[in-house]
Amino acid sequence: MASSGPGVFVLKRSRSQTHKTALFFIIFFVVSGIILGAWYVTHLDGIVTAKFEGRKWRFPSKIYSDAYLLYVGMNVRMEDLREKLRRLSYRKSRKVPRAKGEYRYLKRADLLEIYLHNFAYPLEPFKGFPVRITLQNATITKMENTDSGKELFSLELEPELVTGLYDSIWQERRLVRLSDVPPLMVQAILAIEDERFYHHLGIDPVAILRASWVNLRRGGIVQGGSTLTQQLMKNFFLGDERTYERKAKEALMALVAERKYSKGEIIENYLNEIYLGQKGAQGIFGIWEASQFYFSKELSQLTIGEMALLAGLIKAPNRYSPYRSVVLASRRRNVVLRKMLESKFITRSQYQRARGEVVQRRELMKVANDAPFYVDFLKRDLAENYSNEVLTAEGLRVFTSLDLQLQRMAEKVLTEGLKRLEKDYAHLRKIGEEDHLEGAIVVIKPQTGAIKAMVGGRDYQKSQFNRVFQAKRQPGSIFKPFVYLAALAHGSEEGGRQFTPATLVEDSPFIWEYEGQEWQPANYKEEYFGIVTFRRSLEKSLNSATARIARDVGIKNVRDMAYRLGIQSSLPAVPSLALGSAEVTPLEIAVAFSTLANNGVRTRPLAVKQVMDQGGRVLERRDIRVERVITPQLTFMMNHLLEGVLDRGTGRGTRLRGFDRPAAGKTGSTNDLKDSWFVGYTPDLLAVVWVGFDNQSELGLSGAQAALPIWTDFMKRATARTPVTGFIPPPGIRMIDIDPLSGYRATPNCPQVIREAFLEGEEPSGYCPLHPAPFAQFFTEPVNSLSWFPLSRQ
């Protein structure tokens, strides 16, 4: 002490100062750290709480096709039916189907056995049961519920999932409560993922040490020490990056979550959150969805082996997926089973039995949007009532009129048809260098207005422009039936002259003066036919004769008729309207002609049928709406005339191509040949085809050349094996044989005879004077000389 001098004192003082300063900084940093740490933990607490208390998941809305009805007496193609079952994820079985989603076909006995899936239809949840369908020569002769022995007259295969409406990723999940999950399922997961779950506080030091030791020995990361809580935090909030920062954050969040929430709440969230596989665009999330995806079973129906398989998937869902490799899936399952046995969750005998379960090989049916144009149309339709946020997050279920079989057919025939046109007509390829040849098809069931299929363009990936309802094009001759129907309904505006299918009209050049302007219609290729019947004029689509009829009827009456049938676009009442100069969409044409196919009853077009929320509540139901706008008699006469278009007129190409069902239709080509149309229908199905260029380049082909072949291909496939039905004459119609040249009743000498439909009392009374039969004069009424003259001469 005595030796200490001033120098030592200074040194001591300075040391003490340094210590103090150091201490101050240490305390400062520690306190700051604690404050910051506390703040950060509070911040994380806020995040975790917000997630746990708020909306954890977004549920995409799902779009479903129409259900597929089977009934006794129905004609079915077994290949089509099996394809349908395949798409609905039914599994082929060699034994009698015992589990939902299995089916067996016995070819020799012509017997199909299906164990139907459950399905939550609006208002009527359906519980699957086993059904036996007996067939004879491709006709269903008997259907019965093999559980109850009850005979069935019809049954429905559930609607197909078309696509989901989602924000960025399609996460498919259905929430389950922990109480609804079998304890063994939870134990299987705990055994393989976090066996000390009930003993740690969010992070498991034992597991971390064990994982570190294993990784050290193996020289790489082969085992993780994350607890279920950490995994949940990672899935909820963090990405997949392997950084210490992320790990630390994950651990902190796990601690926070464990402090605030019970083990039960955490495991329940985990069971609903976990990613377990991929079905095309659809990600399989949560244990319920996985159970359905891999086994088509409810959780309560899973075997121990299946539970172990699901638990094993968590590590690498796509690697261990039984869809990908049954061997790998089985191996992984056995690892889980071994862990379950070690943890004493199962007995040895349960373990042995579960190991013996055979993992079935299954075909993966990916959900691919097969109807993108239709879905776009639906989105627009739905957007009127539901915001995008609701559609992509609220898990609505949208039931539609879509028939996926018809949709696929329509897409195929359109693509093939357009390719064929480009192959056959070189000029289309040349124009195609600037703008692709495009087309559209829309298919409607006339009785209900159900839009069964819609293809708005050739390739959705290249152009999403939906020509069915977005493209307004000149309809050309396809508009003419409205003129003829107006003529049958109203007769001549001046003079009250009535029209019948046998009325003679003149087909020659003329000038139509209208409101001080002149308009001169011209026939295709400037070819005129002189005096023709009303029918022949329509069948041959003669412009001049049609324009004369329109002039006599009054263009406003023609326009009103088009509106009445269902055209909604604005139609100017000008003479050229008669030849289809006003622009309309293919959908409008389909609706208008549906009215004819449906005996004069207009229906509103229906794409969306019902919308359900996640809880099964029906939010919206769009009913069939009908309105009789034309009498059945006039409609029948019009349909009968349009049948002639297919049999003898511009649409006879349909017959030459082998479409021989009773059907009516009309070709349409615009004057400048920019648009090619064909509309045709049987009493049960209507299709409109449009072909052209988006940039209005000249197509150079008529409706018969471009649109008709596509229509015929489609209708031949679409109506195959469906009952043949014709247009039935209603009371008040008389069918009379007519000579098409004179328009009078045919005699045995008439070389050509057409059976014509007349309103009772309007049928011609005289016999054909051009081909008189021997003694026909006995039955001939005096011919009214006036009626012999054509409608008008210019």
Partner 1 sequence: MRDKEFAAARKREIFSRRFLGSLVALLILVLIQACAPRRVSRSSFPSPRISSPSGAPGSRTKPVVQGRKIKEQDLGENRSVPQARVRDQRARSPFGRERLSPLPDDSLIAKITPRTSPQRAVSLRFTEEGKRLLEAGEYARALGRLEKTIAIDSTNGYGYYYLAQTHYHMGRYRESLNFLDVAESLFTGETYWLAKVFALKGESFRALGVFRRAGSSYSQALRLNPGNQVASEGLSRIRGRTQPSLR
**Contact residues for 164 (Cβ-Cβ < 8 A; gap 6+):** 60, 61, 62, 63, 170, 172, 281, 282, 367
- Binding residue (CB under 8 A) for partner 1 from 14, 42, 154, 614: 154
Q: CB-wise, 700 or 772, nearer to partner 1?
A: 772
Is residue 629 a contact residue for partner 1 (CB under 8 A)? yes
For 589-708, strand residue ranges (E) read 601-603, 608-612, 618-621, 626-628, 664-669, 675-681, 686-693
Query: Which span sits near partner 1 by CB under 8 A: 4-12, 43-51, 703-711, 770-778?
Result: 770-778
Bridge-partner residues for 142, per DSSP?
A: 134
Single out the catalytic residue among 61, 89, 477, 581. 477
Question: Dihedral of CA 482/488/492/493: which sign?
Answer: negative
Q: How far apart are CA 163 and CA 172, in angstroms?
A: 11
Minimum Å gap between C-beta 197 and partner 1 is 46
DSSP class of residue 767 equals B
Cα dihedral 527→533→539→540 (10° resolution): 0
Q: How far apart are CA 31 and CA 14, in angstroms?
A: 25
Strands 282-285 and 397-400: unpaired
Stretch 69-108 residues interacting with partner 1 (CB under 8 A): 69, 71-74
Stretch 477-496 residues interacting with partner 1 (CB under 8 A): 485, 488-491
- Binding residue (CB under 8 A) for partner 1 from 146, 215, 671, 765: 765
Query: Which span sits near partner 1 by CB under 8 A: 310-318, 408-416, 582-590, 617-625?
Result: 617-625
Query: Which span sits near partner 1 by CB under 8 A: 27-35, 403-411, 519-527, 760-768?
Result: 760-768
- Binding residue (CB under 8 A) for partner 1 from 17, 318, 360, 498: 498
3-state secondary structure labels for all residues of 311-347: HHHCCCCCCCCCCCCHHHHHHHHHHHHHHHHHCCCCC
Phi, psi (rounded to 5 degrees) for 53: -85, -25
- Binding residue (CB under 8 A) for partner 1 from 61, 171, 278, 598: 598
Is residue 723 a contact residue for partner 1 (CB under 8 A)? yes
Is residue 626 a contact residue for partner 1 (CB under 8 A)? yes
DSSP labels, 215-244: HHHHTS-------HHHHHHHHHH--S---H
Is residue 124 a contact residue for partner 1 (CB under 8 A)? yes
Nearest to 112, CA basis, from 86, 131, 94: 131
DSSP labels, 356-395: HPPPPP-----B--S-HHHHHHHHHHHHTTS-HHHHHHB-
Q: Which two tokens stand for residue 492?
A: 């001549």
- Annotated catalytic, 477? yes
Q: How far apart are CA 281 and CA 290, in angstroms?
A: 15
Q: CB-wise, 478 or 489, nearer to partner 1?
A: 489
- Binding residue (CB under 8 A) for partner 1 from 448, 466, 477, 705: 448
Q: CB-wise, 79 or 124, nearer to partner 1?
A: 124
Minimum Å gap between C-beta 447 and partner 1 is 4
Nearest to 383, CA basis, from 564, 165, 181: 165
Minimum Å gap between C-beta 634 and partner 1 is 6
Q: CB-wise, 337 or 485, nearer to partner 1?
A: 485
Minimum Å gap between C-beta 733 and partner 1 is 8
Q: CB-wise, 662 or 700, nearer to partner 1?
A: 662
Is residue 530 a contact residue for partner 1 (CB under 8 A)? yes
Distances (CA, A) of 392 to 65, 165, 368, 388, 647: 18, 5, 17, 6, 50
Site size toward partner 1 (CB under 8 A) is: 65
Q: CB-wise, 335 or 783, nearer to partner 1?
A: 783
Minimum Å gap between C-beta 502 and partner 1 is 15
Is residue 526 a contact residue for partner 1 (CB under 8 A)? no
**Secondary structure (3-state) at 546:** helix
DSSP class of residue 570 equals -
**Contact residues for 783 (Cβ-Cβ < 8 A; gap 6+):** 766, 769
- Binding residue (CB under 8 A) for partner 1 from 769, 773, 787, 792: 769
Is residue 627 a contact residue for partner 1 (CB under 8 A)? yes
Single out the catalytic residue among 113, 172, 193, 539. 193
Minimum Å gap between C-beta 590 and partner 1 is 17
Is residue 619 a contact residue for partner 1 (CB under 8 A)? no
Q: CB-wise, 509 or 726, nearer to partner 1?
A: 726
- Annotated catalytic, 570? no
Is residue 779 a contact residue for partner 1 (CB under 8 A)? yes
Letter for the amino acid at 607?
Answer: A
Q: CB-wise, 99 or 783, nearer to partner 1?
A: 783
Minimum Å gap between C-beta 281 and partner 1 is 30
Minimum Å gap between C-beta 683 and partner 1 is 7
Is residue 783 a contact residue for partner 1 (CB under 8 A)? yes
- Binding residue (CB under 8 A) for partner 1 from 625, 721, 755, 793: 625
Is residue 138 a contact residue for partner 1 (CB under 8 A)? no
Element of type H or E holding 772: none
Q: CB-wise, 401 or 712, nearer to partner 1?
A: 401
Is residue 445 a contact residue for partner 1 (CB under 8 A)? yes
Q: How far apart are CA 577 and CA 590, in angstroms?
A: 18
Is residue 633 a contact residue for partner 1 (CB under 8 A)? yes
Query: Which span sits near partner 1 by CB under 8 A: 52-60, 98-106, 420-428, 629-637?
Result: 629-637
Is residue 123 a contact residue for partner 1 (CB under 8 A)? yes
Helices assigned H by DSSP within 541-625: 543-553, 555-565, 586-597
From the number of C-beta atoms within 10 Å of its C-beta (0-12, 13-18, 19+), residue 652 rates as middle
Minimum Å gap between C-beta 74 and partner 1 is 6
- Binding residue (CB under 8 A) for partner 1 from 97, 164, 446, 703: 446
Q: How far apart are CA 242 and CA 220, in angstroms?
A: 13
Minimum Å gap between C-beta 154 and partner 1 is 5
Is residue 634 a contact residue for partner 1 (CB under 8 A)? yes
Q: How far apart are CA 583 and CA 265, in angstroms?
A: 61
DSSP labels, 122-147: TTEEE---EEEEEEETTEEEEEEETT
Q: How far apart are CA 180 and CA 178, in angstroms?
A: 5
Residues designated catalytic: 193, 477
The residue ranges that bind partner 1 (CB under 8 A) are 69, 71-74, 122-124, 153-154, 445-448, 450, 485, 488-491, 498, 530-531, 598-599, 601, 618, 621, 623-634, 683-684, 723, 728, 730-732, 734, 759-762, 765, 769-770, 772, 775, 777-781, 783, 785, 788
